[in-house]
Structure formats: C-alpha cells, structure tokens
Structure 1
Amino acid sequence: MTAETTTGSCCTPDHSCGSDSAATAEAAGVTTTYQVTGMTCGHCEGAISQEVSAIDGVSSVKAVASTGQVTVISAAPLDDEAVRAAVDEAGYELVGQV
C-alpha cells in the first residue's frame, strides 16, 4: 500500500477520467525522486508524504517503502534542505536525490 497526496482529482479538465493522472501532474511541475532510509510500511509512507506535502509548492508526494524512494512533484525545484527537514520531522533519513 502506498500513500499519495495530490491536489485536484484524477479527472482531466475535460472531465474524462484517465488512467495516466501521474503524467498529467508531472507535466504541470518538477518531478524529483529522493532516496530515504528507514521506511518499512504504509504508515512510514504516510508519515513522509504528510510532512513533505506541507512544503510550499508541493502538489504530489508518493513514498514507496519497498524501494525507499519518495517522488515529489512541485511547482518549482525544491530546496533539498527543506525536504531533508521534512523527512527528518517524519522520523526518517534523506540520503539524497536519485
């Protein structure tokens, strides 16, 4: 189970539901993937997603415990220290960008 926080809906502006909503969100922002240590379950994914989602400009966060990767879509490139602080606040360690 993965946690994902998004703004808006899965439907496109023309009100058709597409299965490629991630690509739509990706086209509207900057996608950055980070490596995080310590995630082991869905609760971990949710905790990281919640903290990183609170960073200004973040529109989507997807944390995957099995890979330790956190993919963030934002309006502009994020400050790595802001992401590190959010991950630390959740109780995990940011290794760096993938």
Structure 2
Amino acid sequence: MSCCSSEGHHSGGGTDIAFTAGITTVYTVTGMTCGHCEQSISAAVSALDGVHAGQADAATGPVTVVSAAEPSDALIGTAITNTGYTLSGRASAH
C-alpha cells in the first residue's frame, strides 16, 4: 500500500537531496507514484544509521542511498517496507 490514492494522486512535491561522499547504492522500489511517496521513502532511508542521504524517484523507481559503509540490504528493505512500498532489490552499486 502506498501513500497515494488508487489513482496515484497525492499533493506534495519531490525531494532534492545533495549527496555527500560515500558508497552509492541504487535500489529498485515498486509502488511509488508521486512526490509524497518519494519523500516518505527518502526520509525513512535517510534516518538509518550510517546513511548520509537517500533519494527516491517515483518516475523511474530507483532509491539512491549514500552511506558511510556498505549498506545493509535488510535494513534498507525494512525501512522501505515500513513505509508501505516494496524493495525489488539492488539496481547497482558504485
């Protein structure tokens, strides 16, 4: 279940986060449809210990995470699931 109506509508804007140096990992997430979805996921991921920043993109589905060390996929997955979305897996890691 996402934060949006069944038609995918919600008022709200996207989130722009300036990333700092660290390990960048991109995850694929399903269920995002708007800026509020992006904000919910970005905030949940960014709140995790060791994460410098997180940014979700509802238009294409990735969530980019910048962390001090290799991120825990399980912790990222739990944060995303707790916001009502589905983590499909890693898209790539840099």
Shorter-chain-normalised TM-score: which range?
0.7 to 0.9
How many residues are aligned here?
79
The counterpart of 1:95, out of the listed 74, 88, 92, is 88
Moved over 4 A (4+): none
Q: Which amino acid aligns with 1:49?
A: S
The counterpart of 2:57, out of the listed 64, 81, 85, is 64
Q: TM-score, normalised by structure 1?
A: 0.75
The counterpart of 1:3, out of the listed 9, 15, 29, is 15
- Give the alignment of 1:1-98 within 5 angstroms: 1-5=13-17, 22=19, 25=20, 28-98=21-91
Q: 1:85 is paired with a residue of what secondary structure? A: helix
Give the superposition deviation at 1:3. Answer: 1.4
Q: 2:26 is paired with a residue of what secondary structure? A: strand
Q: TM-score, normalised by structure 2?
A: 0.78
Greater per-residue helix proportion: 1
Alpha-carbon contact 1:39-1:45 (below 8 Å) kept? yes
Q: Which amino acid aligns with 1:59?
A: H
Give the superposition deviation at 1:5. Answer: 4.3
Cα distance in 1 for residues equivalent to 2:79 and 2:72: 11
Cα deviations by residue, 1:53-98 (Å, 9 ceiling, x for unpaired):
1110111111100010000100001110000000001110000000
Q: Which amino acid aligns with 2:32?
A: M
Cα distance in 1 for residues equivalent to 2:30 and 2:76: 14
Unpaired stretches in structure 1, ≥5 consecutive residues: 7-21
The structure with the largest alpha-carbon Rg is 1
Cα distance in 2 for residues equivalent to 1:48 and 1:67: 14
